[in-house]
Amino acid sequence: MKISDIEIEPAVFLAPMAGVSDYPYRQIVREMGVNLLYTEMVSAKGYEYGNNRTKELLEFDKKNNKGKIAGQIFGEEPDFMAAAAENIAKDYDIDIIDINMGCPARKIVSNGAGSALMKNLELAENIIAQVVAASPIPVTVKMRTGWDNENITAVELAKIAEKNGAAALAVHGRSRKQFYKGEADWKIIKDVVDAVEIPVIANGDIFSPEDAAEAFEFINCDGIMIGRAAQGNPWIFKEIIEYLKTGRKIEAASNQEKLDMAVKHLNLAVDFYGEKQAVPLMRKHIAWYLKGMPYASKIKNKVNNTFEKEKVITLLADYKKQLESS
């Protein structure tokens, strides 16, 4: 697929997820064959005020990790959104600015940002128009189906985005009210595809290579985006890419491979954040890697009470030996 003049193959993406799609995990996903990676969402106002945390969210090593980068921003004030888009594009060697109009988190929507913009289309249009005008690189928009079942506005917002210069859209097939419950409504994403000429990326309930193939066929989308299914499972990208390309299914990662990846991920996180910050941040990731393994709850509890990298690595190594001998 092409976003503006940027060729992106394969059209399989990791969804931007706060606390998940950070720099360490993006490095791993890049190794699985994903060409375009999205940063975690960055507060436009925070960036303009020089918040160090917002700059940390944008860090990446493009030189050694060949591929494209999209910086996602959120906010409810058009002036700040436009300024952040312009300055982030200037300060970082990124390829795309993505506007978050899909985040359902209460602290985001309470300020009128994220998916709250799906019930304020006039403000959403103003933001898109100003960001596109200010950004020297292509602008995309990530959205949901709407605010709730009575306010399904994805098609209307998609048309607004296209009219105001957005280069592509990503649509999560749930409303804000659903959060991540219930089934994703692929029919609404299909309606968006039929309503616009720009590329549309489908997001929601893609948990396997077969799901990915079905989404492409049913929705007729240009790309797919994986969210929760990638938590503790970066291999899903390699599996999907291979299946779409050849129809061949790759054998799922073994428990031993998952434990090795957890250690690799931990080391990358410590290198980036430092041990004090990284070890607590990695607890949820390690829990995802361990999901479904025998006696995993005991190991998770031990990891959750450990603050040193080497001790976590020792716990995982001992657990790996236990699994291998059982």
Find out whether 40 and 19 touch, Cβ atoms under 8 Å.
yes
Would the annotation count 285 as a binding residue?
Answer: no
* Tokens found for residue 182: 């219930």
CB 238 within 8 A of CB 32: yes
DSSP alpha helix (H) spans, the chain: 23-31, 44-48, 52-58, 78-91, 106-109, 121-134, 154-163, 186-195, 209-219, 235-246, 255-273, 275-290, 296-304, 309-325
Q: How far apart are CA 169 and CA 141, in angstroms?
A: 5
Cα–Cα distances (Å) from 71 to 39, 91, 217, 257, in that order, read: 5, 11, 29, 31
Distance (Å, whole) CA 65 – CA 68:
9
Question: Is 16 annotated for ligand binding?
Answer: yes
Cα torsion 84, 89, 93, 98 to 10°: value is 70
Cα 260 from Cα 157, distance rounded (Å): 43
Which residues partner with 96 through β-bridges? 70
Is 296 annotated in some ligand binding site? no
Would you say 228 is a known binding-site residue? Answer: yes
Give the active site residue among 15, 42, 101, 103. 103
Number of H helices and number of E strands within the chain? 14, 11
221 in catalytic set? no
Residue 142 labeled ligand binder: yes
Q: Would you say 30 is a known binding-site residue? A: no
CB 154 within 8 A of CB 146: yes
256 is known to lie in a ligand binding site: no
Residues belonging to the binding site for FMN are: 16-18, 72, 142, 172, 227-228
Residues belonging to the binding site are: 16-18, 72, 142, 172, 227-228
Active site residues: 103
